Structure 1
Amino acid sequence: MQARHNVKEGDASALFSTVINPDIPSKLDFAGQTINLDRVDLYERLDRELTSMAYTHGNTLLTIKRANRYFPKLLPILKKNGVPEDLIYLACIESTLNPRAYSPAKAAGLWQFIPSTGKEYGLEVNEYVDERYHPEKATRAACRYLKNALAKYGNWESVAASYNAGMARISKELEAQKSKSAYDLYLNDETSRYIFRLLAMKLIMENPKAFGYRITADQLYAPIRTRKVEVNTPVEDWAVWADKQGISYLTLREFNPWIRAKSLPNKTGKTYTIEIPVADDMLRSTRKQQVYNHKWIVE
């Protein structure tokens, strides 16, 4: 360690990589609202999250690569339901766009619903089927939650805070602190930071190259086409069913993560749609590479 202390200032580059602080804009737009960052506290809260997220390379990089697969599925659902596209960044910070994500708090899927909230917003959640893991159905449920919260609060920052802390908590704090916006609330550290993590993810994903990310088109996770098979009867053994469809049980579960057991009683005769990947798309040599957003890559 003594030798390191004796290194001359001009030789520091021999030991350390250059560390660049991300640029913080003077204002930014989110979900149709302009956020003025002239306020010192707002500026520094965004600086904290943007600095942290920009240098959390692994998770941020995975989120960008996964976005190429999931944004084409999820953004049309937000649009159809009248939810601003910027709210997709909630899923990014909740799960890093991992549809099989599961938290210690028992939150699951891209949108990290806990069981009770998932059921409240129309998702089937039991030992055989858990639609919190269904990307499209969970996104539609998230839209219902977000629109309900917007009707209550009237601004998206409070909606986002409620997604982390729950509507009851945010409503209580808004009333108690005589405030109309979650930006002005004194909250626990996690929820206070949550809104700015959302803004930081938006800034990075809108222009990853500005934050040092260098991704080529073939490194993005390409969308995989599927054919759909409807099932409205019990399934005694999903592995046997998958084999008859010409796929492995592993592939069945990977493309239908909402299946949670090796069988499906289905006593009510409900119709479930199973997705089976197109064989050509399962090989890098034969798949068609698609780039959803060319700002994500170097060309």
Structure 2
Amino acid sequence: MFSSRNDHSPGKRFYFGISVIILTAVISASALLILTGGTTADDTTAAAKKPSAALYGLPAFPSEISIFGEKVPLDQFGIRERFESELLGVVYSHSSTIRYMLRSGRFFPDISAILKEQGMPDDFKYLCVTESGLANAISPKNAVGFWQFLSATGVQYGLEITNEVDERYDFRKSTVAASKYLKEAYGRYKNWTLAAASYNMGMGGVSNSLNEQLANNYYDLFLNEETSRYILRIAAVKLVFENPEAYGFGVKDEQKYQDYKTKDVTVSATIDNLVTFARQNGTTYYVLKSLNPWLRSERLSVRPGKSYILKLPA
């Protein structure tokens, strides 16, 4: 009799509705606070003004740079922009540049020592980085190894290339061969920059370009895109390798790959099965081939009076 009035009066429905609204607002505000980590509208506005990603720009570089002991004429028409383009490529190709830096710890000591023995500027190790990234690469034109020799050119400068042996894959011997070529080119041009350019396009190509364009130096030549970039790319690699932290690379010397501890074994008789040879010498075929990548077959034929030096784990 009174229940209907007492349980469903407009007044009680009003206050109940208000309570529901307040409770919903409190829950919503709490959820928003959790999701935003307690930030305020001012915090959100301030955060929006900050960049959400790293800022990139043109890396700074010295007003004077050199390569192979010869000055790069940055004030000459177009040279600064071309150098900047190559520097950008080296600096912002992060993964590739880091890999090359890591490999340099293993290969630069021997390459530098050989260049010194051959009377070559040490900067030519950066040409090797530019050619192959300090790896036994194979180009679309079948240039092979650290120094990217074509087969005929490799043989011309003293490398053995057969079905079983390919010394283009021996970075030490190919460094000697590259030095022989570059010294010959220097003898022709009396200039290391032109000698290096010829390493990319051949001495014939450089000589023809110099004659046809009435020029006497690399930076005055109009060349194919690859060779026109080549020297400046090498110079950019040198700049970044010699100043890694200035260009954002935190590769420490102790992080670089170290040379393997090996011993030399002289082989003067044919090895019919290199797998068996590896096992007999306490190692694996994988390690044998990794330490001696110039071995291109599962056997090694040795002519009378000939011998080879294999590297095995010490």
Same fold (TM over 0.5): yes
Residue in structure 1 matched with residue 105 of structure 2 by the alignment = 68
- 1:82-135 Cα shifts (integer Å, max 9, x gaps): 10001111101111111x211111111111101011000000011100000111
Distance in 2 between the 1:9 and 1:270 partners? 76
Quick one: structure 1 residues 137 and 219, their matched pair in 2 at CA, closer, same or farther if it must change by over 3 Å? same
Residue in structure 2 matched with residue 49 of structure 1 by the alignment = 86
- 1:266-295 Cα shifts (integer Å, max 9, x gaps): 2344210000123xxxxxxxxxxxxxxxxx
Asked if 1:158 corresponds to 2:158, the answer is no
Residue in structure 2 matched with residue 210 of structure 1 by the alignment = 246
Residue in structure 1 matched with residue 212 of structure 2 by the alignment = 176
Amino acid paired to 2:115: L
Asked if 1:18 corresponds to 2:55, the answer is yes
8 Å contact kept, 2:83–2:232: yes
Count of matched residue pairs: 270
Residue in structure 2 matched with residue 286 of structure 1 by the alignment = none
Amino acid paired to 1:210: A
Q: Taking every aligned residue pair, what percent have the same amino acid on both sides?
A: 39
8 Å contact kept, 1:228–1:273: yes
Pairing partner for 1:201 from 212, 237, 254: 237
Residue in structure 2 matched with residue 282 of structure 1 by the alignment = none
- 1:17-48 Cα shifts (integer Å, max 9, x gaps): 21131113221122222223122411111000
- Identify which range, 24-33 or 247-256, moves more after superposition: 24-33
Please state how far the C-alpha of 1:16 moved relative to its aligned partner.
Answer: 2.7
- 1:127-177 Cα shifts (integer Å, max 9, x gaps): 100000111110000110010000111111111111111111111111111
Asked if 1:254 corresponds to 2:263, the answer is no
Quick one: structure 1 residues 12 and 118, their matched pair in 2 at CA, closer, same or farther if it must change by over 3 Å? farther
Please state how far the C-alpha of 1:77 moved relative to its aligned partner.
Answer: 0.7
Residue in structure 2 matched with residue 59 of structure 1 by the alignment = 96
SS at match of 2:123: helix
SS at match of 2:66: strand
Distance in 2 between the 1:9 and 1:157 partners? 53
Please state how far the C-alpha of 1:13 moved relative to its aligned partner.
Answer: 4.7
Superposed CA RMSD in Å reads 1.7
SS at match of 1:166: helix
Quick one: structure 1 residues 259 and 178, their matched pair in 2 at CA, closer, same or farther if it must change by over 3 Å? same
Pairing partner for 1:86 from 101, 111, 123: 123
Amino acid paired to 1:201: V
Quick one: structure 1 residues 176 and 11, their matched pair in 2 at CA, closer, same or farther if it must change by over 3 Å? farther
Amino acid paired to 2:149: F
Asked if 1:263 corresponds to 2:294, the answer is no
Pairing partner for 1:36 from 36, 48, 73: 73
Asked if 1:226 corresponds to 2:286, the answer is no
Asked if 1:149 corresponds to 2:171, the answer is no
Distance in 1 between the 2:235 and 2:169 partners? 25
| More helix, by proportion | 2
Distance in 1 between the 2:88 and 2:249 partners? 14
Residue in structure 2 matched with residue 297 of structure 1 by the alignment = none
Larger radius of gyration: 2
SS at match of 1:85: coil
SS at match of 2:233: helix
SS at match of 1:222: coil
Please state how far the C-alpha of 1:201 moved relative to its aligned partner.
Answer: 0.5
Quick one: structure 1 residues 273 and 197, their matched pair in 2 at CA, closer, same or farther if it must change by over 3 Å? same
- 1:162-196 Cα shifts (integer Å, max 9, x gaps): 11111111111111111111111101111100111
The answer for unaligned runs of 5 or more in structure 1 is 1-7, 279-299
Please state how far the C-alpha of 1:10 moved relative to its aligned partner.
Answer: 8.4
Residue in structure 1 matched with residue 144 of structure 2 by the alignment = 108
Amino acid paired to 1:80: E
The answer for unaligned runs of 5 or more in structure 2 is 1-44
